[in-house]
Amino acid sequence: MIRTLTLLALSLATPAMADEITIRHGFGKTQVDPDKVTRIVSVGYHEQDFLYALGLAPVGVHEWFGGHPYATWPWAEAARHAAGATPEVQNGFEIDVEWVWGLEPDLILATFSSMDERTYAQLSDIAPVIGPPGAHQTWGGPWEDELQLIAQATGREAEAETVIARIDGKIEAAVAAHPEFAGLSGTAAYFGNGQITGYRSMDGANRLLSRFGIATPQAFDDMAAGGDRFQVSPERFDIFDLDVVLWLIETPARQAMEALPSWQNTRAAQEGRAIWAGKDMMGAMSFQSPLSIEWALEPLTRALSAAVDGNPATEFVLSP
């Protein structure tokens, strides 16, 4: 009788197991049944944008920066409303495992996260966990790969391809309209706390610039030394004296930077080759999500056009 019941249980379990798929990511392999995913918690810093782009409503998200309601920036607010999402928000840099457990998720997303192996194991005891795209360094996966990974886990592959095609089409149209960008040198950078921060070529903002043919110097990858960024003193603005630089800083930092002789003496300063991002563009270029890229593309293209002409009188202000 026990043998019969065991065989019956196994036979009943087989169809459910057959519905599971194996998803490979940076922390290994995870089994997920996309049809049973109903409660999604994002512990990374921008995954909510990807979920909203797919029409999905997470029950929990992780605040990165900005302080917006539901950790949602302006470019994603309409999509959040459309998805009917009012997620709980975890603040703080580290992942709060107890907070995740309390939300009773059936899928945990950490595709853009500083998660370590220990935290991954703890989260995996709660629900299936999807880490970053496996073929790339931390923080270095293209947004398309990340969207496809999330779509695979949630059964939204067709929606993901539609989003990718739409945004790629807009980028390609902008590139075609501005052939003068091709072959220029440029990068995204940050200034704060008395230091200049540069980013490797595979940083999200630099990857977007590369679509226009604007190349980050190879030296930046060397200086990052396997990480995602490097820092130098304000005496080294010469490293950033390129055809165009996208400064991811707000007004107070810009004012402090422009007062420095080491910046004033650069060709970039004298010819107006800087783009000053402002708060929202700084956020969009940091998030590098499908929604933030789509929102930022038109003003960024206009700002690039004004900056690369070498005429400081044609500055295009990105605001707020």
Domain co-membership, 120 together with 242: no
Q: What is the pLDDT of residue 1?
A: 42
**pTM score, two decimals?**
0.92
Q: Per-residue pLDDT tens for 170-192? A: 999 999 999 999 999 999 999 99
* Contacts of residue 195, Cβ cutoff 8 Å, sequence gap at least 6: 231, 232, 233, 234
Going by pLDDT thresholds of 50, 70 and 90, the confidence category of residue 118 is very high
CB atoms within 10 A of CB 222: 11
27/278 Cα distance (integer angstroms) = 35
Asked whether residue 10 carries a pLDDT value surpassing 80, the answer given is no
CATH number at residue 246: 3.40.50.1980
pLDDT, mean of residues 212-218: 97
Going by pLDDT thresholds of 50, 70 and 90, the confidence category of residue 320 is low
Residue 24 domain-assigned? yes
Residue 50 domain-assigned? yes
* Domain span including residue 96: 2-155
Q: Per-residue pLDDT tens for 121-168? A: 999 999 999 999 987 667 778 999 999 999 999 999 999 999 999 999
48/244 Cα distance (integer angstroms) = 31
307/301 Cα distance (integer angstroms) = 10
Domain co-membership, 197 together with 300: yes
Q: Per-residue pLDDT tens for 71-114? A: 999 999 999 999 999 999 999 999 999 999 999 999 999 999 98
pLDDT, mean of residues 250-271: 94
Going by pLDDT thresholds of 50, 70 and 90, the confidence category of residue 2 is very low
Residue 168 domain-assigned? no
Domain co-membership, 145 together with 186: no
Going by pLDDT thresholds of 50, 70 and 90, the confidence category of residue 14 is very low
- The DSSP result for 215-272, as a single string, is BPPHHHHHHHTTSSEEEE-GGGGGGG-SSEEEE---HHHHHHHHT-HHHHTSHHHHTT
Residue 230 domain-assigned? yes
Identify the domain boundary among 101, 121, 155.
155
Domain co-membership, 134 together with 245: no
Residue 43 domain-assigned? yes
Q: What is the pLDDT of residue 17?
A: 55
**Residue in 1, 267, 62 with CA at minimum distance from that of residue 72:** 62
Domain co-membership, 29 together with 142: yes
Domain co-membership, 139 together with 247: no
Domain co-membership, 37 together with 75: yes
Domain co-membership, 42 together with 145: yes
CA-CA-CA-CA torsion sign (134, 136, 141, 144): negative
Domain co-membership, 185 together with 135: no
Domain co-membership, 193 together with 105: no
* Contacts of residue 40, Cβ cutoff 8 Å, sequence gap at least 6: 51, 56, 57, 58, 59, 60, 105, 106, 107, 108, 109, 154
106/32 Cα distance (integer angstroms) = 9
Domain co-membership, 147 together with 28: yes
Percent of the chain with pLDDT over 70: 93
pLDDT, mean of residues 281-298: 96
Residue 118's alpha-carbon distances to 114, 140, 298, in angstroms, are 12, 21, 42
Residue 163 domain-assigned? no
Whole-number average pLDDT of the chain: 92
Q: What is the pLDDT of residue 18?
A: 58
Q: What is the pLDDT of residue 181?
A: 98
* Contacts of residue 203, Cβ cutoff 8 Å, sequence gap at least 6: 139, 140, 188, 216, 228, 229
| Total domain count, the chain | 2
Residue 161 domain-assigned? no
CB atoms within 10 A of CB 130: 27
Domain co-membership, 16 together with 140: yes
Q: Is 307 helix (H, G, I), strand (E, B) or coil?
A: helix
